[in-house]
Amino acid sequence: MLKCYKHRVILAIETSCDDTCAAVVEPDGRRALSNVVHTQTEHGRYGGVVPEVASRAHLERIDGVIERSLSEAGIGLAEVDRVAVTVRPGLIGALLVGVAAAKGVAYARSLPLVPVNHLEGHVAAAYLAEPALEPPFVALIASGGHTALYSVDREHHMHLLGETLDDAAGEALDKGARMLGLGFPGGPALQQAAQGGDRERYDFPVALKEKNNLDFSFSGLKTSLLYKLKDLGGERAREELSHLAASYEAAVVEALARKLLRAADLQEAPVLVVAGGVAANILLRHTLEEECAKLGIRLVIPPPELCTDNAAMIGAAVPHTPAV
């Protein structure tokens, strides 16, 4: 029998790390009708995400988060025609909670299940920000677990151009913030501590500057902060906090902007997309907006809430992902 729905929407679920997320997205993946994110606060006291704690917190929250995403969208389960879920990369126990929930809904309603790659989801957030956007473009993903540059072709296939050789940019910010005695997650804490600080006071290294490749490295930067803090001593470091935070943040931003613009140049890309949690960073956004305006390059950076982990971006990747 032919099913006849008012809407035929996508229900998307994301639980790859420490955010329990569900969203309802239009079938073309270009508009979210709801986007519910429950950020787990349990990890703060450990200074980083604890996988077992994350899995258990997802388990407690997932049903409520899915229900909220449907009610906020004004949609009943009968109007859902596909269920999308993040299947990789991520914490295995955390992923399993989302996958089990998605399978449950799909099986109960005889719906296709769409397995989405989290990184493709981050890039797809750009389609929610600019519904008319089409590849080809060059994309930078900078998150807590990944930092990589891709060329995205007309078929939405992602080709790796370069990636971090050690820490991810978000990881470097999180570790730096921790050394400075700031909270977790470190990116937003560092951004706040850097306010009013002098970005040029400390000369933190930007790695692989001269090399004609598109890789990143952040481990030297982290070590450099560690030695700087030892040199300064506790009291002086506390007085210098805003300058240290500003200089450290500026070094991460310079590394990301430099390589992205180099990739744009090498690929002759007229459009750049920046995605992942670190793309929420105000200094990175301003730096790239300024540079791209000078170069006449179109820059797409989703609003901060679509840069950090969410399920709307997972739904946005569905039109380019085969169902199982």
Interactions with Zn ion, residue window 290-319 (CB under 5 A) = 309
Contacts of 197 (CB under 8 A, 6+ apart): 241, 242, 243, 244, 245, 246, 247
Q: What is the CA radius of gyration of the chain?
A: 20
| Residue 91: CB minimum distance to ligand KG4, A | 10
Exactly one of 29, 98, 121, 170 binds ligand KG4 (CB under 6 A); that residue is 170
Binding mask 10-49 for ligand KG4 (x = CB under 6 A): -------x--------------------------------
| Residue 309: CB minimum distance to Zn ion, A | 4
| Residue 125: CB minimum distance to ligand KG4, A | 10
Exactly one of 143, 151, 247, 287 binds ligand KG4 (CB under 6 A); that residue is 143
Alpha helices of 181-311 — where are they, by DSSP H? Answer: 186-193, 219-232, 234-239, 241-267, 282-295, 304-307
Q: Among 58-66, 155-163, 167-175, 256-264, which window interacts with ligand KG4 (CB under 6 A)? A: 167-175
- Give, to the nearest 10 degrees, the angle between helix 92-109 and helix 51-73: 30
Give me the long-range contacts of 72-77 (CB less than 8 A, separation at least 24): 72/24, 72/33, 72/34, 72/36, 73/9, 73/24, 73/33, 73/34, 74/33, 75/7, 75/9, 75/24, 75/33, 75/34, 77/11, 77/105, 77/109
Nearer to ligand KG4, 86 or 151 (CB): 86
143 touching Zn ion, by CB under 5 A: yes
Q: Write out the H or E segment, with its range, that includes residue 14.
A: strand 9-14
Q: Among 63-71, 123-131, 182-190, 210-218, which window interacts with ligand KG4 (CB under 6 A)? A: 182-190
276 touching ligand KG4, by CB under 6 A: yes
Exactly one of 162, 188, 197, 315 binds ligand KG4 (CB under 6 A); that residue is 188
In the chain the first and final C-alpha atoms are separated, in Å, by 22
Name which of ligand KG4, Zn ion, none residue 33 binds, using a CB cut-off of 5 to 8 Å depending on partner kind.
none
Only one residue has tokens 């126990």, namely 93
> How many Å apart are CA 159 and CA 162, to the nearest integer?
9
> How many Å apart are CA 83 and CA 80, to the nearest integer?
7
What the block records as the tokens of 237 is: 């470091």
> How many Å apart are CA 156 and CA 163, to the nearest integer?
19
280 touching ligand KG4, by CB under 6 A: yes
Q: Among 70-78, 183-191, 220-228, 294-302, which window interacts with ligand KG4 (CB under 6 A)? A: 183-191
Query: In the complex, which residue's CB is closest to Zn ion?
Result: 143
| Residue 294: CB minimum distance to Zn ion, A | 29
Name which of Zn ion, ligand KG4, none residue 280 binds, using a CB cut-off of 5 to 8 Å depending on partner kind.
ligand KG4
| Residue 46: CB minimum distance to ligand KG4, A | 15
278 touching ligand KG4, by CB under 6 A: yes
Instruction: Kindly give the pairing relationship between strand 137-142 and strand 298-300.
Output: unpaired
**Contact criterion met (CB below 8 Å) for 69 and 33:** no
| Residues forming the site for ligand KG4 (CB under 6 A) | 17, 143-145, 170, 173-174, 185-188, 191, 276-278, 280-281, 308-309
